[in-house]
Amino acid sequence: MAKLGSANLMSLSSKPGAAEYLSYFQNDFPPALAAIAPLNASHSVKPVKMSYSSSYTEAGLGKTLSWTLGGLAWLPLSTGGPTSVPILAFQHGTQVNRPRAPSLFNPNPAAALGISAISDPEGALLTYLECMICGMMATKGYLVVMTDYPGFGADAGPHPYVHRALGSAVRDIVAKAAELAGGAWSDKVSWNGQIYLLGYSEGGYATMVGARAIQDNPIAGGSVVAAVPCDGSYDFSGAMIPRILKPVAEPAPYYVPYVIFGYNYVYGSSSGSTLDFSRILKNDVAAGKNYASILPPLFDGNHSSAAIIAAMPSAYPKEVLSDAAIADLQNPSSDLFLKLQANDSYRGWTPAMKLQMIQCATDDVIQPENAENAFAAFNDLAHVPAVIYVNPISIAANGQNVSDQVHVRAFPTALLRGFKYIAGGS
């Protein structure tokens, strides 16, 4: 769920560990991909910006959410002419700053490391690394697509954070890529009908709901072969709520108001409703802090996670919640609890494709219960194998890391293991 870095992350230009983190992808990641890729041919790649339409509705919502979204595709090119390849949809991790979208990717590393001109260095580095990884995967013969998500890039609306609406954005960019592979891109690639999905953190959640959306609304001519969600919050009602209600200091406490903001957008916020900011966020009269006024404007797409964290009272996200919200979270029959539960990515679903969850066992943001509870709910389906656990990388040169979050340091190992599963099927 968290993005690269923590609230006190120094500028990357002076942070020991940043260069080593980047060098992992430059030096170690490409050979590892080459070693596990099942294809003999090597491909050059061409990044292409995308634009596509997406929409979402659900029973009882009373409206349809519609977006024109951006994305980035990496086309694998072959000297022998158009190559028949699978589509691999990669879902990015949590961002709060609208420009940190795949469609706005700048291949110049200075764009991510030229910190003096960037207000959100962590988000810039994350976008750069994810796009670079997708380009690497495309060299192995995959048409890789990356959606911006609603609320990012060209879409100036709110972001439906950790909500099943993300599944529609994933499904629809895959459908658009399939269409273009048979049309505007047909001189470069063709689609072989196979679909793979991979993502980490919020991207792990989006990967699971994306697989579900494609299963519910199939894409003509193809099907999902495998979905590989990594370290996602699949079980917000069962795993994350108990954590929020405990006095646990969070490395990324902004995820709690982010969920509130996203659900407020989807379900509405009429006065007195469950998700009305003035009802769900605390008005701390003694401290002179009304979080219903302070926090929502910070999710306008123009602020960093560090700015949001700085506006919160502490690393304990429960402290921004009102007594009414806490009571709702403790009540499994409350409207708020039921909305969160309805968006747990695995509930009420039987996957029809291979679904391999990957999890860092020591994750300090997304605890393993998310994956374990989801796996238990799938009733030992043969095509849903046991969770694969990975360890974070250690980059403690000079006694410091690019981040003190285990969640951040598990990002490269989880994605490499996820691509290994896609490439080799195990």
Q: pLDDT: is 223 or 106 the higher one?
A: 223
Alpha-carbon distance of 50 to 70, in angstroms, equals 5
User: CATH 1.10.260 in the chain, residues?
Assistant: 249-341
Alpha-carbon distance of 361 to 388, in angstroms, equals 9
Q: How confident is the model at residue 5 (pLDDT cuts 50, 70, 90)?
A: very low
Whether the model clears a pTM of 0.85, i.e. scores above it, the answer is yes
| SS3 state of residue 228 | strand
Tokens 């110049």: give the residue.
Answer: 108
Does the pLDDT of residue 1 top 80, yes or no? no
Does the pLDDT of residue 386 top 90, yes or no? yes
Look at the domain 12-235+347-424 and name its fold. Answer: Rossmann fold (3.40.50)
| C-alpha dihedral sign at 299, 257, 212, 93 | positive
Q: What is the dotted CATH code of the domain comprising 249-341?
A: 1.10.260
- Residues in CB range of 62: below 8 A, 6 or more apart: none
Contact 222, 193 (CB under 8 A): yes
| Mean pLDDT lowest among 199-203, 245-249, 327-331 | 245-249
Q: What pLDDT is recorded for position 269?
A: 74
Alpha-carbon distance of 135 to 74, in angstroms, equals 6
| Mean pLDDT lowest among 160-164, 230-234, 286-290, 412-416 | 412-416
User: CATH 3.40.50.1820 in the chain, residues?
Assistant: 12-235+347-424
Provide φ and ψ at 271, rounded to 5°: -55, 125
